Amino acid sequence: MSDYSNLIQAILEGNDVRCVELTNEALNEGASPQDIVSSGLQAGMLIVGDRFSAGDFFIPDMLLAARAVTRAMEAIRPRLSDSEMPTLGRVVIGTVSGDIHDIGKNLVAMFLRGAGFE
């Protein structure tokens, strides 16, 4: 699945169920976890960020998109650890528990794992 437009659309709509379905479909079709993360999930969240900056998306829109990406990453996570991708290094990241930035921190941590960091 080299075309992630449907996955990106599911992220923009905050449709976590569809996002997981499309992620699993891509995995079953042989797409690499890293490709799904970079070309699908990260690409979708970049658009969410752009729309938020432009005033077209608001915090609830970002939270729904983040939830969709988080659920998709949960489906990918077992395959990331099984891949033979070398570890690029170890990253430590944190926020105050319960802070609104906790959501962004978790997304960044998942994307770093997807890129090969521990």
Q: Tens digits of per-residue pLDDT, 40-72?
A: 998 998 899 899 999 999 989 988 998 999 899
Task: Write down the mean pLDDT value for the chain.
Answer: 86
Name the pTM for this structure. 0.78
The C-alpha atoms of residue 118 and residue 114 are separated, in whole angstroms, by 9
Instruction: Delineate the domains of the chain, giving CATH numbers in brackets.
Output: 5-84 (1.10.1240.10)
The C-alpha atoms of residue 64 and residue 67 are separated, in whole angstroms, by 5
What is residue 74's predicted lDDT score, i.e. its pLDDT? 87
CA angle in degrees (0–180, nearest 5) for 110-74-69: 65
46: Cβ contacts below 8 Å, ≥ 6 apart = none
DSSP state at residue 85: P
Answer whether residue 114 shows pLDDT above 70.
Answer: no
Please tell me which residue, 106 or 47, carries the higher pLDDT value: 47
